[in-house]
Structure 1
Amino acid sequence: MARDDISRGAAESLRRLTGAARVARTFEILADQGALWVWGDEDETLFTEDGDRRTLLPVWPHATLARLESEGEVTGEYAIRVPVDEFLKEWLPQLAEDDAAIAIFPVEDQYAAVLPLAEFRSRMTAALRLN
Structure 2
Amino acid sequence: MAQDDISRGEADRLRKLDDEARVAKTFEVIAAKRALWVWGDEDETLFTEDGKRNTLLPIWPYATVARLDNEGEVDGEHAIKISVDVFLKEWLPQLAEDDADIAIFPVEEMPAGVVTLSDFRSRLSVAQRVN
Q: Distance in 2 between matches of 1:100 and 1:15?
A: 24
Q: Distance in 2 between matches of 1:19 and 1:84?
A: 22
Q: Distance in 2 between matches of 1:4 and 1:94?
A: 26
Residue 27 of structure 2 aligns to a residue whose secondary structure is helix
TM-score using structure 1 length: 0.98
1:35 equivalent in structure 2: 35
Residue 2 of structure 2 aligns to a residue whose secondary structure is coil
1:111 equivalent in structure 2: 111
What is the Cα deviation at residue 2 of structure 1? 1.1
2:101 equivalent in structure 1: 101
2:122 equivalent in structure 1: 122
Residue 43 of structure 2 aligns to a residue whose secondary structure is coil
1:44 equivalent in structure 2: 44
Q: Could you list the structure 1 runs, at least 4 aligned residues long, displaced by more than 6 angstroms after superposition.
A: none
What is the Cα deviation at residue 109 of structure 1? 1.2
Identity among equivalent pairs (%): 69
Q: Distance in 2 between matches of 1:97 and 1:5?
A: 31
After superposition, the CA RMSD in angstroms is: 0.6
Deviation string, structure 1 residues 67-119 (Cα, Å, up to 9, x no partner): 00000000000000000111011100100000000000000111100001100
- State how 1:22-101 maps to structure 2 within 5 Å: 22-101=22-101
TM-score using structure 2 length: 0.98
